[in-house]
Structures are given as structure tokens and as C-alpha cells.
Homo-oligomer: A and B are copies of this chain.
Amino acid sequence: MAKKLNVTPLHDRVIIKPAAAEEKTAGGIIIPDTAKEKPQRGEIVAVGAGKKDEPLTVKVGDIVLYGKYAGTELPVEGIDYLIMRESDIVAILGK
């Protein structure tokens, strides 16, 4: 599991640690790094408190798929995390 970040996303935002290229999950899904326009995979490392009356669905530790161009980069100690809204996440793996 990714190290806990010392950052709290605001409202409905989450921070994701993108997966390294060509990894293989327990469930056998491969999403090659060279894929174009296909969902990307990463691990949730921080979540916001949600919007009024709408708590977030994903939680820290979830492996998720998200749009290739979703979010903005957040570089912390050499790692390019992504910060995006939960609505940019399309699916959770392994549930």
C-alpha cells in the first residue's frame, strides 16, 4: 500500500498514486502503459470529506480506474501523484 500522504483533498477530490506500467493485478487485469485513451489504474492514497450530503464512495487503499487525462499532477517527494474529483473515477477493481 502506498505511504499515507500528509495532504487532505478538499470536498469531492481524491489523490491517486498511479500504478507503474505493465503491472498485473490479482484479478488478472492488464492495462498496458502504451494504451491510448483507455482507463488508467492507481491506488487511492487520500480522500476528501465529500460534498454536502454526498460522502465519497472510494476509500484509501482502493485500486481504481480513471480517465487517461483526469486530474492534475501533484509531485510529492519524487512521485507524481494525481489529484482529481471522484467523478473522474470510472470503476473500483477487486470488489
A interface vs B, CB < 8 Å?
A: 6-11, 13, 15, 26-31, 35, 37-39, 46, 48-49, 52-54, 57-58, 64-65, 67, 72-77, 83, 86-87, 89-95
Contact = CB atoms under 8 A, between A and B. Distances in A.
B91 A13 contact: yes
B72 A67 contact: yes
Contact of A91 (B7, B31, B58, B67): B7
Nearest to A73: B38
A61 to B, nearest CB: 14
Given A29-B77, A39-B83, A52-B53, A10 B92 contact: yes
B90 A28 contact: no
